[in-house]
Amino acid sequence: MTDIEAFSAPPRSHWNDVWHQFRTHKGALAGSIFFALVLLGVSLGPLIWTIDPQFIDIRARNSGVSLAHPLGTDQLGRDTLARIMAGGRTSVAVGLTAMLLSLLLGTAVGVVAGFFRRMDGPLMRATDLFLALPLLPLLLVIILLFRDALRAAFGPETGIFILIVFVIGITSWMQAARIVRADVLALKEREFVLAARSIGTPSWRLITRHILPNVLSPIMVSATLGIATAIITESALSFLGLGFPSDFPTWGRLLFDSTDYLQQYPERVIWPGLAISLTVLSVNYIGDGLRDALDPRIRAK
In a domain, 109, yes or no: yes
> Is pLDDT above 70 for 94?
yes
What pTM did the predictor assign?
A: 0.83
In a domain, 57, yes or no: no
The winner for highest mean pLDDT among 35-44, 137-146, 232-241 is: 35-44
Rounded average pLDDT over 271-285: 91
In a domain, 36, yes or no: yes
- For residue 235, the enclosing domain spans 17-46+76-299
In a domain, 53, yes or no: no
In a domain, 260, yes or no: yes
The winner for highest mean pLDDT among 94-108, 138-152, 201-215 is: 94-108
> Is pLDDT above 90 for 238?
no
Q: What's the pLDDT band for 299 if we cut at 50, 70, 90?
A: low
Number of domains in the chain: 1
Least confident of 27-41, 76-90, 207-221: 207-221
Determine the pLDDT at residue 35: 93
- Write the DSSP assignment of the chain as a string of letters: --HHHHHHSPPPPHHHHHHHHHTT-HHHHHHHHHHHHHHHHHHHHHHHS---TT---GGGTT--S-SSSTT-B-TT--BHHHHHHHHHHHHHHHHHHHHHHHHHHHHHHHHHHHH-HHHHHHHHHHHHHHHHS-HHHHHHHHHHHHHHHHHHHH-HHHHHHHHHHHHHHHTS-HHHHHHHHHHHHHHTTSHHHHHHHHTT--HHHHIIIIIGGGGHHHHHHHHHHHHHHHHHHHHHHHHTT-SS-TTS--HHHHHHHHGGGTTT-THHHHHHHHHHHHHHHHHHHHHHHHHHHT-HHHHT-
Reported residue count of the chain is 301
> Is pLDDT above 60 for 155?
yes
Rounded average pLDDT over 92-117: 91
Q: The CATH number of the domain where 247 resides is what?
A: 1.10.3720.10
Q: Among candidates 136, 130, 217, which has minimal Cα distance to 175?
A: 130
Determine the pLDDT at residue 102: 92
In a domain, 158, yes or no: yes
Q: What's the pLDDT band for 104 if we cut at 50, 70, 90?
A: very high
In a domain, 141, yes or no: yes
In a domain, 10, yes or no: no
How far does the chain reach from its first CA to its final CA, in angstroms?
20
